[in-house]
Chains A and B, each alone.
Chain A
Amino acid sequence: MDLRFEKIYKENSKYVYNVALGMLRNRDEAEDIMQNVFIKLFEGYGSFRGDADIKTYLYRMTVNKTIDYMRSQNLHSNKLELIEQPGPQKTDSSVSLLDALLDRLNPELKAPILLAEIGGFSYKEISEIMNINLGTVKSRINRGIAKLREYADKEALL
């Protein structure tokens, strides 16, 4: 594989994966979507203008594909299932807590929070990735965070 691709993968894969995982709560599906997104990126690499363009593409495709998948599967965000951890990987308490919190949010509220917290994007960048205006980003993030805080207080989790 081209060294440039290896570098892009190394720099972005963990965060792209965790955004997908945060949305879908399923390792196999998250890895599937992530793999397809990177393949599409590398196959069309010549058309990108720079690193920022690549990052925007990666996360936009990831968010869109996860939301599409969830709609097709008719998944509801109020299920309290934790992510299954097949194999030797341990599930520590902080991961379970995060899963429980994220389960409280619908995809539209979850996506911008994941992009902010995991992707490290600013609100302006999130508005470009999700193709929504800045005011909507602020509104969704603050509503989502308020829900998370409310649940965390109720369950005395933080």
Chain B
Amino acid sequence: MTDIVINDLSKMYGGKRVLDCVAMHIADGEFIAVLGPSGCGKTTLLRLLAGFETPDEGTIQLGDRIVSSREANVPPEKRNIGIVFQNYALWPHMSVADNVGYALKIAGASSQERQQRSRDALAVVGMENLAERAPSDLSGGQRQRVALARCLAAKPSVMLLDEPLANLDVHLRAAMENEFVRFHRHTGATMVYITHDQSEAMALADRIAVIDRGRLVQFDRPRDLYREPQSEMVARFIGNGQVLTVQDVRPDAEAAIVSIFGKDHRVRARRSEQVRSSARLSVHTSAMRLAQPGEDGFAGKVERVIYRGNHSQVDFLVTAEPDLQLTLHAPADVAIPSDDTIQVCISDGWVIPAAA
């Protein structure tokens, strides 16, 4: 059983806190994505998990063993972890098979066992025919697969993946995403996947940890992150969310009635939501639409219309709050002139809980 318990982990660089009291519990066999804008501290978290850095506060526990603390640090070579590096880090002076079998060689496996297991690992990623090639002869996607196989052959209890798709072409990414899912099912290893790309994280992970400026802001299933963001940052970061201010929050069963630009709407809210004079509301683009004739909406002035093929993206300024720009998707066949005034309906929203 290798679950990962991270306790109040902090790391400073030159007086700056790059990780601040991060705590999470990752279950054995879970696929976790760590998501955040660049410079948020997610790579530091990976390096702490791997053992390349020591924490200034807090601990990391792998299984029942504390591997990182201020006092003692189990070195990376003794942690039984695997890493897939962003640039693959294949050793250029070794063949593909030697790369994959290196951890076994270090562990003192017999050469027969080594060959067998590296061939098996290469077979999992469909690369068994290229075992004798040099890494420099491979394409980007092939190198990525070799890096995965290298990780697999070592049978690590935890696999760390550091933006593994960042250096690949867009069309290769989709194929590799499938590869990762299959790979996770095959190995059952606990996987921690670092990325700044939310669609990647959404597609792959059981749960996503969103990190912002060194702090863990939310750790939830993709669906909950999207539908029930716990902070404005998450609401904006996930799925191009939009945030607006609403008045007069009145909890109502498992929802709440709020006043959006003077008109009452029923939106989702957490059960413990209190009566408040104002709150911030998370609204996704898909939850906004042009009002049907006769339907009651709020007014907006069209700023710009961008043709996107299957829909038109309409950017507009809210008439009641002229500094607020929102975006909705309109059917591509509806002509909307710029500077026109439109009526907008909101069909779904989520009251962002008041900050603790």
Tell me whether A and B are bound partners: no
> Which residues of A pack against B, CB within 8 Å?
none
